[in-house]
């Protein structure tokens, strides 16, 4: 099994949900994004998790949720914010579960 660290795109399926893990850290130029075939995954039932989205500013659809992770001195901190009505719905579902 290859390490996800070296792959720019990893696809995982579970039932009717397809999870697309995109790691743009190694993207040298935003134009390289077109070669990843992400347009093929722009469909219902596909959840995109994108690391380093700032490397493709203006080329990605707007996020529904933004998650910022930080390492503090005593704990890790995750800040989640909704950016769209769909994101607000997801965030509400997460909070109520």
Model pLDDT for residues 13-52, shown as the tens digit of each residue: 999 999 999 999 988 888 888 888 898 999 999 999 999 9
Q: Does the pLDDT of residue 92 top 60, yes or no?
A: yes
Q: What is the rounded distance in angstroms from the CA atom of residue 47 to the CA atom of residue 28?
A: 24
Is the pLDDT at 73 greater than 60, yes or no?
Answer: yes
Q: Which residues contact 87 (CB under 8 A, 6 or more apart)?
A: 63, 64, 65, 81
CB 29 within 8 A of CB 51: no
Rounded to two decimals, the pTM is 0.79
- Enumerate the domain spans of the chain: 1-61, 62-97
Token pair 């999870």: residue = 19
Mean pLDDT of the chain: 89
* 1-61: CATH architecture: 3-Layer(aba) Sandwich (3.40)
- How far is residue 80's CA from residue 69's CA, in Å, rounded to a whole number? 9
* 1 confidence band (pLDDT: 50, 70, 90): very low
Query: Using CA of residue 56, residue 5, residue 69, residue 22, what is the dihedral sign?
Result: positive
Residue 2 predicted with pLDDT over 70: no
Residue with tokens 């009505």: 85
């Amino acid at each position: 099994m290859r390490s996800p660290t070296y792959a720019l795109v990893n696809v995982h399926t579970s039932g009717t949900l397809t999870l697309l893990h995109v790691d743009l850290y190694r993207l040298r130029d935003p134009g390289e994004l077109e070669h990843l075939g992400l347009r093929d995954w722009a469909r219902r039932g596909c959840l995109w998790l994108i690391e380093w989205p700032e490397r493709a500013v203006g080329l990605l659809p707007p996020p529904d949720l933004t998650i910022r992770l930080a390492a503090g001195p005593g704990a890790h901190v995750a800040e989640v914010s909704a950016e769209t009505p769909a994101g607000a719905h997801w965030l509400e579902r997460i909070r109520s579960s």
